[in-house]
Structure 1
């Protein structure tokens, strides 16, 4: 304890409310005013600051920036004593409460819980704090259960929960209303995907180029993930599905995908739709179709050739690509086992440089002795045949032009008959209208034929460019690697490479040697062996 001759006691206060409602904000202001008066009433105390977190839960310290900042300053020696009204304001997690107060006490900082009458500087302070912290934690659990029960009842009535972040809608008072400008963007996304057959990356790129602000971050670009969320969200066809995620516990508040352990609530035609139910279902079917295209070969659709194919020989989990930035600003990529990244410590498999994986895959393809020139010749010949097939369009074009001329002649004869008095005005107009309608249809057919001729008439220079592209791909491009490499298993000293539809696998020894510009990869062994 400080005496009158000691230096002034540097005191900070902490207060918190768990919601941002008006009455709670008033409560927060009252707490702040109380601490200011309380500290002023102690002459030997000097105010460091009143730290207040608003609208945040007390079950975890990670989401309380003011609390974290206060503790950091205390550990840095800027605070001698922390005031708070009660244990539940400080933390409702017993473990956090005890760990933090012990760390503070070890650094000469006390915590005074005014309403609970607990001072951690006293000998029995920790014992009493343990009891009160346990009570606060149990109170938090009961409050969480009551809140959850109330939310479930509201969900059954169709009240929408969440923040106002659903693109195309505004959420107010638990009700969704269409936001017209964003709704047009949603319709454009569905049209681009379903009618124009564009991919999500292309749609995202075009939206960014059009200067359309994306969801949640108006200054940034669109991403394929944003587009996918719009395409998969049932709210756009008027349905409401709630409890897609569930909270693991009341302490961490961590949310995970609801795997069926908790009830979900689905209400059809809950609110105004932006997309028709038919178009929404068609998009879901198309998403499944596109995702299932590579699945016919026993693999799933992925963005990169190696996605899901690099596996750990120790724990069986897949490797993921991690990018690291060097001090000079350049990046390098390495594959790391997910079992090593999950924090359990169960897998110790080595990380692999990204170029090593690619080199190993290309080296195996070289062992297959593919007749690249013959494959390319066949593909080029197929393209030339496609071009030649367009010649059949010449006869169709001639027939269409003859039909167009006949309709033109018929139109002229009708007008002449009217001028000669052989046809009345009304009949003449009907005949002319029918002729013009048929002429428009024939002209449209001619335009389509012309466009098709332009599309298939490839110049020899274009064939040369295609040949060069095919040669690069067959030398180990991403498309060929995606089609032929089925799996790469990483072992401690080598790699096992499996090729699609081959009864053997290749045991490859390879390593990266040197650093910087001198870095290179050496393959020292590549041995085929039967699949187990």
Structure 2
């Protein structure tokens, strides 16, 4: 009873005493909601106990009418959109078919504070009470929202803490090299007792893709070829596109490796996942299962992917990577260094293919006074140069062997320098951690100065490491091409006509010197001057 005195002309009409704010003398339509957030056996037993408890409890009250037990198994409480039974229960409340909801605790109702308050407020507007047994809160009471906000915040904080612990455990497992395989969409493999097993019928397709790409074929042409052959993808479809081929070429599983933490959870409440583009560390586990592709082929294809990507972005002599014509990437102007481009000239009643310097096409003779070459004559000259190497391969062998020895020596030196820089980066990390561990014993200005010096040296070394890795990769690519070209010239007969794929594999560059002379440089370093 209030102690506030009323005015002389005011008569107090006291409130009616009620056992419960939702009781109206008629039977209450009561439902219960229960949930467990994992599918472990122990939790499932708890889940069954909850259902049995509420069934008996509601049935024992003569003033209550059982509407139903709504239960979600193995569903996280941080989001409501995937909780089918929860959403069904809320919909019945909106239709006026439920007066009271029983729930074990706020954390069972929702671990997301915003969701919890939104639903509690909506139900309150509908005059539907939620009774949280653990916290002893009825949402229709005047002071309930403040308490619910506190408890819901605690539940959300607990969820975030659990998420951090799980994330820490997963990352620790990654560091130890424990691979959790997902092979559902990986052509060529099936999981047997958690271990990837090669499916040979599919592995043949994978090897064909790598072989065709290493041989110079474009992603689009490989896709067209696989489609025409009726090769089946992992989902059974026989229709291929360049993205399907590209994803296979970049999948490290085919060389027996696994990259862990390619994706990470951005928000444990919304369960939003994002691709890991450097926001989190990744972990490469090598030789963890049977490979379909050998290491040398894999490395060669990755280098070729990088090379084509650079050309596509216009980083190579002003040109773009073209696979339809090998000369688009090989034919270079001896005057300005730009690539030549194929154009069609009208000739009588038809058209004739001609190769012209890209600078001349863009800016005219004032920019580059280079000659135009007819395709037929140019092809014939290149075929003669290749046949010369095939018929008398001793010079080519000597030069390619010398070039290979030089590249191997340079690559070995680069490996030593890379190892040295990597070791120093590791020392910097240890030194920084030692300084931070002794932070209380070091004056702030001294600590800041030392950390700044370490950071500056670290950035310089990282830049140097990127440069060394790039040089090593370029050297590896050249070495692969030299060995492949040498093997190829020993295994074929003299050419009868121009072959784009073969030219791409054995020729490194063709320089236009004049209207009737080009220099063909082979992958082994051997140069042949031929008349056009």
Structure 2 residue aligned with 1:189:
209
How is 1:26-65 mapped onto 2 (pairs within 5 angstroms)? 26-65=45-84
Equivalent position to 1:178, from 189, 198, 202:
198
Structure 2 residue aligned with 1:349:
none
Q: CA offsets, 1:382-407, max 9 Å, x none?
A: 399444678899999xxxxxxxxxxx
Change (3 A) 1:139 1:173: farther
How is 1:60-459 mapped onto 2 (pairs within 5 angstroms)? 60-161=79-180, 163-165=182-184, 167=186, 168-171=188-191, 175-195=195-215, 197-199=217-219, 201-204=220-223, 207=226, 214-215=233-234, 217-218=235-236, 222-296=240-314, 376-377=345-346, 380-382=352-354, 385-387=374-376, 445=493, 449=496
Change (3 A) 1:58 1:204: farther
1:154 shift after superposition: 1.6
Q: CA offsets, 1:330-389, max 9 Å, x none?
A: xxxxxxxxxxxxxxxxxxxxxxxxxxxxxxxxxxxxxxxxxxxx9642862539944467
| Secondary structure in structure 1 of the residue aligned to 2:32 | strand
Structure 2 length as normaliser, TM-score?
0.53
Report if aligned partners of 2:311, 2:321 keep a CA contact under 8 Å in 1.
Answer: no
Structure 1 length as normaliser, TM-score?
0.53
Change (3 A) 1:10 1:276: farther
Report if aligned partners of 1:160, 1:174 keep a CA contact under 8 Å in 2.
Answer: no
Q: CA offsets, 1:170-189, max 9 Å, x none?
A: 45776544344443343233
| Secondary structure in structure 2 of the residue aligned to 1:42 | coil
Change (3 A) 1:114 1:285: same
In structure 1, how many angstroms separate the alpha carbons of the residues matched to 2:95 and 2:290? 55
| Secondary structure in structure 2 of the residue aligned to 1:269 | coil
| Secondary structure in structure 1 of the residue aligned to 2:354 | helix
Report if aligned partners of 1:159, 1:174 keep a CA contact under 8 Å in 2.
Answer: no
| Secondary structure in structure 2 of the residue aligned to 1:83 | strand
In structure 1, how many angstroms separate the alpha carbons of the residues matched to 2:382 and 2:171? 65
Larger relative contact order (CA 8 Å, sep ≥ 6): 2
1:140 shift after superposition: 1.1
Change (3 A) 1:203 1:449: closer
In structure 1, how many angstroms separate the alpha carbons of the residues matched to 2:353 and 2:380? 16
Q: How many residue pairs align between the two structures?
A: 336
| Secondary structure in structure 2 of the residue aligned to 1:251 | coil
Structure 1 residues not aligned, in runs of 5+: 304-373, 397-440, 453-532
In structure 1, how many angstroms separate the alpha carbons of the residues matched to 2:142 and 2:53? 27
| Secondary structure in structure 2 of the residue aligned to 1:155 | helix
Structure 1 residue aligned with 2:44:
25
Report if aligned partners of 1:94, 1:134 keep a CA contact under 8 Å in 2.
Answer: yes
Change (3 A) 1:47 1:290: farther
1:120 shift after superposition: 1.1
Report if aligned partners of 1:192, 1:203 keep a CA contact under 8 Å in 2.
Answer: yes
In structure 2, how many angstroms separate the alpha carbons of the residues matched to 1:380 and 1:233? 42
In structure 2, how many angstroms separate the alpha carbons of the residues matched to 1:445 and 1:37? 89
1:278 shift after superposition: 1.7
